[in-house]
Amino acid sequence: MRTATVIIGAGHAGLAMSCRLAELGIDHVVLERGEVANSWRTERWPSLRLLTPNWQTKLPSFPYDGADPDGFMSAGALAGLIRRYAGAIGAPVRTHTTVRAVGFHDDGYAVTTEQGTWTAPTVVVATGACNLPNVPPYADAVPASVSSITPMDYRGADDLPEGAALIVGAGATAVQLADEIHRSGRAVTLSVGEHVRLPRTYRGCDIFSWMESAGVLDERFDEVDDIVRARHVSSPQLLGSPDGRAVDLDALTDLGVRLVGRLAGIADGRARFSGSLANVCALADLKMHRLLNRLDEWAGSAGQERPERTRLPRDPALELDLTNGEIHTVVWATGFRPDYSWLDLPVLDRCGRIRHDGGVVTGVRGLYVLGLPLLRRRRSTFISGAVSDTRDIASLIWRDLSRRDCALTAVR
Ligand SMILES: Cc1cc2nc3c(=O)[nH]c(=O)nc-3n(C[C@H](O)[C@H](O)[C@H](O)COP(=O)(O)OP(=O)(O)OC[C@H]3O[C@@H](n4cnc5c(N)ncnc54)[C@H](O)[C@@H]3O)c2cc1C
């Protein structure tokens, strides 16, 4: 089967790309291994709510038009919205079509699936940034008596063994799970490394309204000082709860969660934590104030209310015995990574990440990637980033196909 563009993945990014290509009259197909919005249907925990407000969940030709713009959508509601979007734009999705390999073919690519092979001069990889949990190698040293899970396995606190949990990580997933697991009656120790602290609201408005208005989210990838580092910072410590509750480290301390430093390793059944808790918290506070200063500057006046410095435990533990029956579960909220094991092309770096320049894969022609953090702008990290990223990349594809003198339409 031949087409002009193969899009791999029918999450919001792949579908937004399909909408853009259809607008330009470019023939294409969207190949999806599961159902539309597979990640949100099968890989997220049921109580998850977006940390971005509903008004920001918009896609090309599909603004948010629900009744609760300032609310926070559940994973299930988002999956429903993405399914509706696929229907509204009439995306040519082939579900249950797992891509097993992508290799060079003539002047383009062959995309192999168990339903057949597609050839095309251009391919868009929209398989997501979060296919696999990013678990450190010393996770194998957790004693067998302790259950060890990732957020992809987590379905609710009630499914965990009774007893205390150690949660490793300090991004959005870690603090949300710490809050939920602690509220289920289990004692929680949270191992805190470098993190991003943001207030849920600032001067009476949601922090995302501020960042949107002040243009923070539109900062381009080539304007960011250290783009490699910026692409790897953890998600902000925010929760999208119906009551607008904060879940920063102070809120967790108030609940009774015990904070310790970054997990440095596990040996002989003992978890060892670094002594850097005060430093990483001070750094997160500093960066948060820098952002708030920028927002004040944009607003033309200084805000009165500022979050206090993160409160620290007096003597954070440096070790925890995982064999004495206290800890029953370790949750690895240590981030996610993409899976490109099916990509037979020389486009990955030593860490298995796609090398790209604003979504244009480097070193080859006609290959594009979407849905990665800070891909083209700060907002690329979030769902709304697909609106501008797909517009830009669709026009690059159109130029590429025009130069090759390819038939753009109806080659299916
Ligand atoms: C826990 C969590 C919470 C988040 N919260 C927010 C939030 O509050 N707000 C926000 O804006 N963003 C949030 N994000 C980030 C954002 O939603 C993700 O970046 C987004 O899911 C990426 O969309 P996507 O379409 O690129 O990828 P996905 O939604 O992951 O879609 C990729 C699709 O590709 C398919 N696929 C993968 N491999 C293959 C293959 N080999 N063959 C065929 N199909 C394949 C998958 O089945 C999937 O359907 C969150 C992410 C996570 C993990």
What tens-digit pLDDT sequence spans the chain (412 residues)?
Answer: 999 999 999 999 999 999 999 999 999 999 999 999 999 999 999 999 999 999 999 999 999 999 999 999 999 999 999 999 999 999 999 999 999 999 999 989 999 999 999 999 999 999 999 999 999 999 999 999 999 999 999 999 999 999 999 999 999 999 999 999 999 999 999 999 999 999 999 999 999 999 999 999 999 999 988 898 899 888 999 888 888 788 899 999 999 999 999 999 999 999 999 999 999 999 999 999 999 999 999 999 887 789 999 999 999 999 999 999 999 999 999 999 999 999 999 999 998 999 999 999 999 999 999 999 999 999 999 999 999 999 999 999 999 999 887 656 544 3
| Beta carbon of 390 within 6 Å of any ligand 1 atom | no
Q: Could you identify the residue written with the tokens 């909408």?
A: 19
Looking at the structure, tell me whether residues 104 and 161 fall in a common domain. Answer: no
| Beta carbon of 406 within 6 Å of any ligand 1 atom | no
Looking at the structure, tell me whether residues 177 and 280 fall in a common domain. Answer: yes
At residue 302, the pLDDT reads 86
In a domain, 412, yes or no: no
* DSSP code at position 121: S
At residue 408, the pLDDT reads 60
Question: What's the number of CA atoms in the CB half-sphere (13 Å) around residue 318?
Answer: 5
Looking at the structure, tell me whether residues 165 and 278 fall in a common domain. Answer: yes
Looking at the structure, tell me whether residues 9 and 75 fall in a common domain. Answer: yes
Atom 29, ligand 1: residue with shortest CA distance = 11
Q: Which residues neighbour 167 within 8 Å (Cβ) at sequence distance 6 or greater?
A: 174, 177, 178, 181, 188, 189, 190, 191, 330, 331, 333
Report whether 239 contacts 252 (CB < 8 A): no
Looking at the structure, tell me whether residues 147 and 295 fall in a common domain. Answer: yes
| Beta carbon of 52 within 6 Å of any ligand 1 atom | yes
**Cα–Cα distance measured from residue 158 to residue 154, given in angstroms and rounded to the nearest whole number:** 10
Residue 85 sits in a domain of what CATH number? 3.50.50.60
Atom 37, ligand 1: residue with shortest CA distance = 127
Looking at the structure, tell me whether residues 229 and 361 fall in a common domain. Answer: no
Looking at the structure, tell me whether residues 265 and 312 fall in a common domain. Answer: yes
What atom in ligand 1 is closest to the CA of residue 13? 25
Strands (DSSP E) found in 180-323: 188-191, 201-202, 205-206, 258-260, 263-267, 270-273, 319-321
In a domain, 198, yes or no: yes
At residue 412, the pLDDT reads 38
Looking at the structure, tell me whether residues 292 and 210 fall in a common domain. Answer: yes
| Beta carbon of 382 within 6 Å of any ligand 1 atom | yes
CA 51 to ligand 1 centroid distance, Å: 15
What's the total number of domains in the chain? 2
Answer with the one of 317, 332, 347 that is the final residue of a domain: 332
What atom in ligand 1 is closest to the CA of residue 51? 8
165: nearest Cα among 146, 189, 149 = 189
User: Which structural domain, as residue segments, surrounds residue 360?
Assistant: 5-131+338-404
At residue 407, the pLDDT reads 59
At residue 126, the pLDDT reads 98
* Number of residues that this document lists for the chain: 412
**Cα–Cα distance measured from residue 303 to residue 300, given in angstroms and rounded to the nearest whole number:** 10
CA 350 to ligand 1 centroid distance, Å: 23
Per DSSP, the residues of 292-319 read HHHHHHHHTS--S--PPPPP--SS--SE
How would you classify the pairing of strands 188-191 and 258-260? parallel
In a domain, 80, yes or no: yes
CA 236 to ligand 1 centroid distance, Å: 17
What atom in ligand 1 is closest to the CA of residue 173? 1
| Beta carbon of 122 within 6 Å of any ligand 1 atom | no
Question: Candidates 130, 150, 341, 393: which one to mutate for ligand 1, based on the most atoms within 8 Å of Cβ?
Answer: 130
Answer with the one of 277, 297, 332 that is the final residue of a domain: 332
